[in-house]
Structure 1
Amino acid sequence: MRSRSGFSRSGKPAAGWRGPAGGARNDSDASWISVSDLMAGLMMVFLCIAVAMMRSVMIEREKIRTIAMSYKENQLAIYESLQREFAPDLTRWGATIDRDTLTVAFNNSDAMFDTGEAALSNSYQVVFEEFFPRYMNVLAPFKGSVEAVRIEGHTSTGWGQTSDRNDSYFNNLRLSQDRARSVLRYVYTLDEVTTHHAWMMQNVAAVGYSSSRPIYNADGSENIEQSKRVAFRVITNSETKIHSILEESF
């Protein structure tokens, strides 16, 4: 029997009884509300993480962009300094300056060396006595941004009468390396660059590329004379800085 209070005589709620507010109790509703609150909280956490990661990526991209802009400005400054110093002499030396690679190339290799030999000719000893001290003075203000200076030896693709490409490549590799070292050894002994010796030991290297980087004419044929060259190339440290930024990001 049910009393007016909604309880049976045993003290238990009577079947069908509604609470004081007139609604039936529903524990599942309360559970769904709790899960919804939890999901909303997790979504906010993930959103905050995503925003933080995007901000970090944007910061790193801005750092790289700043370095890239600085690299372009520094590259242009070095190129313009080389041009100002050497433009009047390039034709006389048979040399060119490449803006993109900061390379001063001496293209008259036949005048620099006897065929198949690495000893620097007397005439080009005079040229490098005039060129290299001035070259080091031009680079002096930029030493903080210079990663390396490479003295590069290059050859044409041929080697005497041989038709074996492998033999030609390795013979030219040895010759280009010997010629690059010969030039480095000579300019290092010049009295005018003595004050640069410590920096040169850490930053100047001689490299032989064999015939791997030939010069081509407009019609696609090899320019044999320009392929045989000795080049002085400046490499800046912008790439190293970008790598360090990328490493810090991970």
Structure 2
Amino acid sequence: MNNNEEHIEQEEHWVSVSDLMAGLMMVFLLIAIVFMVNAERERNKVRDVAVLYDRLRTQLYQDLLTEFAPDLEQWGAEINPDLSIRFGRPELIFDRGANKLKTGFEDILQDFFPRYLGIITSVKYRDDIAEVRIEGHTSSGWLGQEEDSAYILNMGLSQERTRSTLDYLLLLPEVQQEKYWLKAHMTANGLSSSKPILSLGGEEDRERSRRVEFRLRTDAESRIAAILESYQ
């Protein structure tokens, strides 16, 4: 083989390698484009769910406020944009250290809960409610106990109070037609003193910390989580 033939053979070899590299670059480029398009679609899905969730929460908050605004002051209650309803006058709810509902709070619940249930199980919201949480909260103290023991004792007390509340609600005649839905969606959660209410000075407001809250969780979180899992 002379030098010219060898030179031509080497050129053909390098041309074939160059073609191969160019082809691989095109493949990688196409993969990158497909990935970016899919990622953009997923981001749009997350954005759309977030927008729908925000609209749902805003509308539900307004409907709850419209329904209960005239009653909140006498109940010692407040409705918050995070869809929590707080009953914060402990003298109306439980005696100190007790888990039995006071008659006054039973009367409030008998008025409040059927109306509340009517809103959240309406066609507008029913399929978007993932959980109805009854939360029991206490202050951080327990007479004669150090901090850790007080926390544990208050945890038991808060759980007993939420169970008492749940038991009373499930027996209300006005909610019997929705009992199956309630048992699938409603939970009782004792939180002890883990979420105290603070005064303007940053100190715990022990009276307001002793409270019962109703809190709604929509299924937007699970929808977003399912989309994010598709990235993995």
Normalising by structure 2, we get a TM-score of 0.95
Cα 1:33–1:93, aligned 2, differ >3 Å: closer, same or farther? same
Query: How far has the Cα of 1:138 moved from its partner?
Result: 1.2
CA deviation digits over 1:175-229, x for unaligned, max 9? Answer: 0000111111111111111111000111001110000000001110111111000
1:107 to 64, 76, 88: 88
1:75 is aligned to 2:57: yes
Question: Counterparts in 2 of 1:13-162, with a 5 A limit?
Answer: 26-99=8-81, 101-141=82-122, 142-162=125-145
User: Quick check: which one's helix share is greater?
Assistant: 2
Query: Which residue matches 1:204?
Result: 186
Query: Which residue matches 1:8?
Result: none
CA distance in 2, matches of 1:112, 1:175: 13
1:188 to 147, 170, 173: 170
Uncovered stretches (5+) of structure 1, i.e. residues with no partner: 1-12
Query: How far has the Cα of 1:25 moved from its partner?
Result: 5.2
CA distance in 2, matches of 1:130, 1:118: 21
CA deviation digits over 1:116-156, x for unaligned, max 9? Answer: 00000111111111000000011112120010000000000
Uncovered stretches (5+) of structure 2, i.e. residues with no partner: none
- Greater Rg by CA: 1
* SS of aligned partner of 1:118: coil
CA distance in 1, matches of 2:26, 2:214: 57
The aligned amino acid for 1:31 is: H
Query: Which residue matches 1:220?
Result: 202
* SS of aligned partner of 1:81: helix
CA distance in 2, matches of 1:106, 1:243: 31
Query: How far has the Cα of 1:33 moved from its partner?
Result: 1.1
Cα 1:31–1:189, aligned 2, differ >3 Å: closer, same or farther? same
CA distance in 2, matches of 1:186, 1:25: 94
The aligned amino acid for 1:235 is: R
* SS of aligned partner of 2:121: helix
1:176 is aligned to 2:189: no
Percent identity over the alignment?
Answer: 40
* SS of aligned partner of 1:69: helix
Task: Output the aligned Cα RMSD.
Answer: 1.6
Q: Which runs of 4+ in 1 moved over 4 A?
A: none
The aligned amino acid for 1:202 is: A
